[in-house]
Structure 1
Amino acid sequence: MTRYRWVAARKAEGFPTTKACRAAGVSRQAFYDWSGQQASGLSAKASADAELVAAIRSIHADSGGAYGSPRVTAELRRQGRRVNPKRVCRLMRLHGICGIHKRRKPRWKVAGGSRPAPADLVRRDFRPGQPDQVWAGDITYIPTGQGWLHLAVVLDLGSRRVVGYSMAADMAARLVVDALDTAAASRGGRTGGVIFHSDRGPQYLSGDFASALARHGMRQSAGRVANCWDNSVAESFFSSLKRELVTQTRFATRDQARREVFSWIGRYNTRRIHSTLHYQTPTEWENHHRQRLNQAA
């Protein structure tokens, strides 16, 4: 501690300034000159911090609120400012400025354990040529103001049509069973011999799902562990859903998300053209396929 700081500390404790200066061996005028410099320095620092915070807010706003302190620091330096990353981080934290963080993925368990995974009967052959030969299923999660909404879908790989789906607040095996039952009902129960393909998620390896497949006379197929390409059609569907709907909308409630997803799937089936279907919608492709069969008969 310097002599001036010692005098300042004694003054703050209520001791007379003159006696404190005499004890420290400094003049009163020198002490007051030092105090004025300190006050001026603090004022200059506060002004510099305020100017830097304004620049940080501008960069953060231009990024759409996405930039955290590392990118803000990098952009400040790109603008020619010499800034310390720790100072930027401190000011952003102090003023409540934060970037967009990756959402924590939900974790789930399925009661009763999982069965051994079935063989891969599809082997990335995602063009069976006609409907109701191979179906693919998968699960995703949608953020809402009330928590996650989980969506399970069933896609016909022949037409790329969503033939069944289910939404719920949890990830129980019932979610995928309901989606499968919906798909079977939409096809009038004509499911005997259809291959159902998915990843090795615990819901698809549950005993409840195995029973549902047996009830509908379907065969089960599963891709390899941690290999998204083995179920890429379902992955691509969810990618489109998130790009065109989920990332563009903030859902206040699960009910709002359900309504929006329901509408989007309706448009997907009836209005969204696919390059794999020669730029037809899934519904159009199935109608044309049915007409060809009738003409051939």
Structure 2
Amino acid sequence: MHTSSRCTYGRRRILSTVKKSFIKFGKKRVSKIMKKLNINSAGKPKFKTTTTKVDRQAIHFPNLILGDFTSYKPNQLWTSDLTYISTKDGWVYLCIILDTFSRAIIGWSMHDNLKNKLF
């Protein structure tokens, strides 16, 4: 079970799977067997990177396109996206502006923090 789950099943999942097979095992017995076979489950990631911080005093603009990204001539509709990239020296933040008609990148900016304005 442990190997077929890509080493993610721990004591609780193995115990619940064994109980579904109508085999009577207790959690101590499963723990002892796992310890004897040197089986450890994969833990959760140590951290989760969050970059979104809500500014309650910022001006919020309405969504004017409502999910319709079609445009019939150049420079009619631009979209933007911000992404962060992990590098050997730390995080780098990349912002691009894209013309939806030609799908060409109009501009881009990169910085090592979000405190400065990217555009």
| TM-score bracket for the superposition, by shorter chain length | 0.5 to 0.7
**Structure 1 SS opposite 2:74:** coil
Cα drift, residue 125 of structure 1: 1.8
Cα drift, residue 117 of structure 1: 0.9
Is residue 117 of structure 1 aligned with residue 60 of structure 2?
Answer: yes
- Percent identity reads 28
The runs of 4+ residues in structure 1 deviating greater than 3 Å are: 65-93, 107-110, 140-151, 159-169
| Cα 1:86/1:147, change in 2 over 3 Å | farther
TM-score of the two chains, using structure 1 as the length reference: 0.29
> Contact conserved, 1:67 with 1:100, CA < 8 A, in 2?
no
> Contact conserved, 1:142 with 1:149, CA < 8 A, in 2?
yes
The answer for unaligned runs of 5 or more in structure 1 is 1-58, 178-297
Q: How many angstroms apart in 2 are the aligned matches of 1:105 and 1:118? A: 26
Cα drift, residue 98 of structure 1: 3.0
The answer for unaligned runs of 5 or more in structure 2 is none
Q: Pick the structure with greater CA Rg.
A: 1
**Structure 2 SS opposite 1:138:** strand
TM-score of the two chains, using structure 2 as the length reference: 0.57
Deviations along 1:82-104, whole A, 9 cap, x unmatched? 433566568769x5723353551
Q: How does 1:124-143 map to 2 (within 5 A)?
A: 124-143=67-86
Q: 2:3 aligns with which of 28, 52, 61?
A: 61
**What is the root-mean-square deviation in Å for CA atoms of aligned residues?**
4.1
Deviations along 1:196-244, whole A, 9 cap, x unmatched? xxxxxxxxxxxxxxxxxxxxxxxxxxxxxxxxxxxxxxxxxxxxxxxxx
More helix by share: 1
Is residue 156 of structure 1 aligned with residue 84 of structure 2?
Answer: no
| Cα 1:107/1:161, change in 2 over 3 Å | same
Q: How many angstroms apart in 2 are the aligned matches of 1:155 and 1:98? A: 43
